[in-house]
Structure 1
Amino acid sequence: MVVVPGERVRVRGSAKVTYLLVLANTLIYLYTSYPYMFLQSTEESVYSLGFIPALLFTNPIQGVVRVFTSMFTHADIFHIFFNMYFLWLFGKSVEGYLGSRKYLSLYMLSGIAATLFYVAIIPVGGYDSLVIPAIGASGAISGVLGSYLLLFPHTRLIWCMFFLFLPYCIPVPASLFLVVWFAEQVIYGYARLGGVAFFAHVGGFIAGIAMTYLIARRASRQYAYWAFSSLYDWYRSIGVIFTGRRGLGKITKAVLIIFLVAVAAGFAYSLYTLTSEPPLTYIMRAQASSGTATASDTVSLVVYRDGGVEISYSPVDVVRILLGRMQPYIYNPSLSGESLVIDATYSVTIRGLTVPVELHANASYDSSGVILYGSGWMNTRVVNIRVSSLGESAVLGNPITINFELHSERLRMETALSLGGIASLALTILAIISVKKADEVSAFTEEYTYIPPLL
């Protein structure tokens, strides 16, 4: 879906910060993408500038720095284009109304809140997010959208959707588009759809709502006094009475609050799991070689209290094969506290196939039975997936020998995640209060499309 301006909100304040942010993001994208003809950023730049939650616990200074570098890094040309388009579309009016300093504060703090939500929801959204870099200005821009919702809910936008490649465009109030957008982020976030940090969008949007209520109430009262009081009295004296709504309607508020409560429930459940049955969480760095090819990757390893083990997906083939075949020796309570030489021949089940494994390794384990260090070699066979009109089928492929080295590190993150969850829950509650009192903040009613400068 695409949205374009339906009417102009004439705010006399400056939009210089919005344009500077667009310029800064664009210049950084040009730098990170020039090796690929500006079509996409390099993998190196994504991993060196993106926010990786595990860094907050293994290298806190680097983790904090990445909170900010990630806000100016984008994956590809579509990512940067649509983010900057939304920033331009909604940011100009918000900045003109709030003023450049307050607007920049809202933008940056919304980006930080987006990171907070992204990390705090990990117990619900999945621990694989610990090692996946998050990039993009969308968390901060979501804060601008939340602010726009409270300030200008009745401005008209043209909402275009595509059916069979044909556009269908309808005029809608900004509140309808933004509430639907927010609802999608919450639903997709809980559905754990991959590739997008939906709860970062949720966090930025919620922060934008809460901060706008805190910083714009006084400005809105002053705007109302200067812009409307004398005009209202004059029109009333000649028999013209305005009846348009101010702020969000009752249905809009109700829908928003329902989804905000759903977000709050997620953080409440996250806090419950962290206090009642916190899992053991590790990051594992694996280096593996087969033939002349050497590759490495970092994955998350989670051991739940019921004995279940979850290893995050590795896009590196040789690492994924290694970890899939080594699972019986990655977590093994019978080897707790041991340092030993493993010579084992066994089999694992992959896609319904019995796959033979021959393992020789030097390994050491912690007191929980999680491998802390391992090095050696493995003989096994690959599994090939064949796709046909009847579906997918798995068959055993060629033998493969993998030389490897593993290092695991325990992340003691329960306290930090709990504090993050409490902060996110508090911010969500503040946003609920802000929505209920949104009429105090709304810049104008349906009748007024001109906002004078704040004197």
Structure 2
Amino acid sequence: MMRITETVKHLIIINVLMFIGTVAIGNGELFYKWFALYFPENDLFQPWQIVTHMFMHGGGNTANFSITHILFNMFALWMFGSAVEQQLGSKKFLFIYFSAGLGAVLFQLGYYYFNYIPLHSELIASGLTGDEIVQMMKTNKTLDTINQVQFEKLKELFPVYNASMVGASGCIMGVLAAFGMMNPEAKLMLIFLPIPIKAKYFIPGIIILDIISAVTGQSFFSPSNTAYMAHVGGALTGFIIMWYWKKNQFNKNRWD
């Protein structure tokens, strides 16, 4: 059995404490409001959420405390994170972990803005003001003067404006990519598909499925509200870091 490493152990403790705080304080809403990552155009967005959302699992207006979410993420963090930390050391591991989390944020928010900007521009061009749009996004109530075309655009804009992110999945996808690059022949399995697949095929396969899910809305192995592009961003960030380190391991750019 893989021995848990010190850095991974402390990350798991922080995640568990944040989950307990979410459940115990404010019925899930208070911690979620403070620490989940909201879409930057939303008034609830705060800069610290870029980091704090990585330690959040569950909560929100529906008080959805996902035990499965945190258990799966912490299991993956223990299993792959401990192996990566043992091979690279704590400094490199933490660099990959948080860089992947930030990469996940960039990809997911970029994807949100890719959908948000054209819709917002079309609504402005139709005669609505920015303040009117924000007010309708906040209250989920439309003005009496809204026509059918504007209403349809607002329906598309609403879930983007009110989107939020929680979870360590982006960080863990980066760690998983690092594990795969260091151990390409290691055989991995999905819980619902107990067929061993080599890491060099398994991890790219997961990334491709996440991209398909983001574009089509069809979920293959995650809940439908998963931030799929965050998974992609985390994995690609982990891959790029490991590729750079491997390429430059014998020159002055090597990580020390």
TM-score, structure 1 as length reference: 0.40
Cross-structure match for 1:386: none
Cross-structure match for 1:42: 28
Question: Is residue 22–residue 29 contact of structure 2 (8 Å, CA) maintained in 1?
Answer: no
Distance 1:123 1:64, change over 3 A: closer
Question: Is residue 76–residue 172 contact of structure 2 (8 Å, CA) maintained in 1?
Answer: yes
1:18 and 1:81 map into 2 onto residues whose CA distance is: 14
Is residue 94 from structure 1 mapped to residue 80 from structure 2 by the alignment? no
Measure how far apart 1:30 and its partner are: 1.2
Cross-structure match for 1:140: 171
1:84 and 1:21 map into 2 onto residues whose CA distance is: 9
Measure how far apart 1:159 and its partner are: 4.0
- Match for 1:189 among 200, 211, 214? 214
Is residue 85 from structure 1 mapped to residue 75 from structure 2 by the alignment? yes
> Secondary structure at 2:164's aligned position in 1?
coil
Give the letter aligned to residue 139 of structure 1: G
Measure how far apart 1:113 and its partner are: 1.0
Cross-structure match for 1:154: 185
Question: Is residue 54–residue 131 contact of structure 1 (8 Å, CA) maintained in 2?
Answer: no
| Higher Cα radius of gyration | 1
Measure how far apart 1:160 and its partner are: 4.1
Is residue 208 from structure 1 mapped to residue 233 from structure 2 by the alignment? no
Matches within 5 A, 1:52-71: 52-54=38-40, 63-71=46-54
1:114 and 1:63 map into 2 onto residues whose CA distance is: 17
Distance 1:213 1:123, change over 3 A: same
Distance 1:35 1:47, change over 3 A: closer
Cross-structure match for 1:116: 106
Deviations 1:9-39 (A, max 9, x none): x9xxx82111111111011111111369xxx
Give the letter aligned to residue 42 of structure 1: G
1:83 and 1:125 map into 2 onto residues whose CA distance is: 28
1:120 and 1:159 map into 2 onto residues whose CA distance is: 29
Cross-structure match for 2:134: none
> Secondary structure at 2:195's aligned position in 1?
strand
1:145 and 1:129 map into 2 onto residues whose CA distance is: 28
Q: Work out the percentage of aligned pairs sharing the same amino acid.
A: 27
1:121 and 1:83 map into 2 onto residues whose CA distance is: 23
Cross-structure match for 2:149: none
Structure 2: gaps of 5 or more residues:
59-65, 117-156, 219-223, 252-256
Measure how far apart 1:206 and its partner are: 0.5
1:186 and 1:95 map into 2 onto residues whose CA distance is: 28
2:19 and 2:85 map into 1 onto residues whose CA distance is: 23
1:185 and 1:124 map into 2 onto residues whose CA distance is: 17
> Secondary structure at 1:18's aligned position in 2?
helix
> Secondary structure at 2:197's aligned position in 1?
strand
Deviations 1:370-400 (A, max 9, x none): xxxxxxxxxxxxxxxxxxxxxxxxxxxxxxx
Matches within 5 A, 1:170-185: 170-185=195-210
- Match for 2:94 among 90, 99, 104? 104
Cross-structure match for 1:17: 7
- Match for 2:37 among 51, 56, 63? 51
1:191 and 1:43 map into 2 onto residues whose CA distance is: 30
Give the letter aligned to residue 153 of structure 1: P
Alignment root-mean-square deviation, CA = 2.8
Number of aligned residue pairs: 199
Give the letter aligned to residue 178 of structure 2: S
1:218 and 1:144 map into 2 onto residues whose CA distance is: 19
Distance 1:68 1:199, change over 3 A: same
Distance 1:159 1:113, change over 3 A: closer
Deviations 1:192-241 (A, max 9, x none): 3541110011100110000111234455x79xxxxxxxxxxxxxxxxxxx
Measure how far apart 1:174 and its partner are: 2.0
Structure 1: gaps of 5 or more residues:
162-167, 223-455
Question: Is residue 101–residue 234 contact of structure 2 (8 Å, CA) maintained in 1?
Answer: yes
2:234 and 2:46 map into 1 onto residues whose CA distance is: 19
Question: Is residue 98–residue 216 contact of structure 1 (8 Å, CA) maintained in 2?
Answer: no
Cross-structure match for 1:33: 23
Distance 1:187 1:82, change over 3 A: same
Distance 1:212 1:65, change over 3 A: same
Distance 1:86 1:125, change over 3 A: farther
Deviations 1:253-287 (A, max 9, x none): xxxxxxxxxxxxxxxxxxxxxxxxxxxxxxxxxxx
Distance 1:192 1:130, change over 3 A: farther
Give the letter aligned to residue 154 of structure 1: E
Measure how far apart 1:125 and its partner are: 4.8
2:89 and 2:10 map into 1 onto residues whose CA distance is: 14
Distance 1:135 1:158, change over 3 A: closer
1:110 and 1:72 map into 2 onto residues whose CA distance is: 14
Measure how far apart 1:129 and its partner are: 2.4
Distance 1:90 1:45, change over 3 A: same
TM-score, structure 2 as length reference: 0.69
When you count helix as a share of all residues, which structure comes out higher?
2
> Secondary structure at 1:121's aligned position in 2?
helix
